[in-house]
Structure 1
């Protein structure tokens, strides 16, 4: 506990005068070497309530009427008595039925109204109650108001069959009272009254094991077979269930050197595609996006075991892997879109993709390959 500091009366009066003149509290603290902001606030309150005699009270001593310091003159004593009677009269003006025992709600309301001009202790003395009773009643009032608000929110949620979130519930409550939306949100969360119409779907994702640099850097040209490979996954939403195609392309001739079709795009799916690669030369680079399957521990370990250097696109930049994105687009355009296939069997989807990959590698000519197919171009180069 810190050491209590006693300030001279002159310092206290100087602080009050500066504060009443509009000087910021921080500046007062620095100039007069006062430690606490609350002390300045207390001195100003005493000054406004004409209790300047309290400036002389010892540290830790609380003066109340009849128990303060000895008055220096009869005039000062009469002034203190008049002040006490004036405060008492101010309190009684607020109470209906003078002489009757004040009720709990009235006492709490009075203290809240008058505490800026009088101390809570003085108000409680005039009301004939203890300060502990006031705080007990105040806390009970607060608990009652929280319970009432909870009932109101619960009633509105049930009336609208949990179609409204906390924003709309707040808007309804604000038609009759002032309330913060955060309070409404907290109450609804504690009681599980959130909107049940659109449940947010959150996918559990962990931190990626490894994210590689973009070594390819959109340089899609290669003079040697299997020097630069690109891989990606695309959707095949044409069968009885959603299917996926994982493929790897050699940038030297655009040949699809590995592919897999499955109904689940997990790490095992892309590992199956990776396992189809033929023997690779040294310094082979495999480029992909930053999908969780490619950044996973198992995939990275399998890539290292094959002696491959990994390269990855920047986040949200599919153009960094434009070559394989283009192949997947061509595959869908020249099969499913061309034949207007929107819904068919899963077997037909698999057969269509497999037949097209064979056609793409062996038959379909490309201008950039001197009007040869990828395999013809590779054989002629050899």
Structure 2
């Protein structure tokens, strides 16, 4: 370069490479181009170059300091960012900070005038309510169910807002359902016809019940079994019984408990899989004696009894996998408590997020 200072002089003065000086001069076009004209024009261009370089160095320093000090702020709430701007606007500049945080000047001035104080107080109260619901339901409530729980307290928010509050702001996540193992099909055979054909919508209560078994492996190496009956009308649990044996007696005991609870309804269809317990001589005779019509899924097709599969998925992930049971008596007692929570507290998507009992007696 021509003029009072050469490229080498400028590079040495500002402790930068000569390549950087040349690149900046080229990048900013005519302002950094020097022509061999009069000494007056050369002096003006040199001064412009120095001012431009000084500005770029200041911007570079800001970027370095900002990266070191603001990483945690991008994960925090807006109030923390506002306080950071208050403390550092003298060095960085107000507009520069707002631009890098993605905040409008109007929002910042509203903060200074206290216009958002009431909003922040209301949001903090919602945060506390969300945490109360989350931890009092064994951390099994996701953002969809949380919307229903909040509406019971008169708090009406969109799913998107609740999802942001829970996952981003409060770091609260619901139970992740475990993947089920694949089913191995076997030779197709029929005991009773499938009367449902995957039509699980029922208009009246106590017309179609579904039943199935599940196992619960214990820490002592033993296994306890559960048999449950649900009503397809509202997905409510009619009966749920635990036992150390998975046999016909357990299936009959569960069905008998359900019949007593609902006072022996007439014209009932009981749908199950083709398990030997449901196809046994004693169980078939018990159903005939009480005027119950049996229906069965195709062998190896869990979709034919999808509501029961879905119930046991919730049962395992929201209850059984979350606790350690010292003995069988405690497991049986807590199973009853879970069924009560499932029927009376947990919102169900099939009932448009009413609880099963709310749908049953509405």
Q: TM-score range by the shorter chain?
A: 0.3 to 0.5
Q: TM-score, normalised by structure 1?
A: 0.42
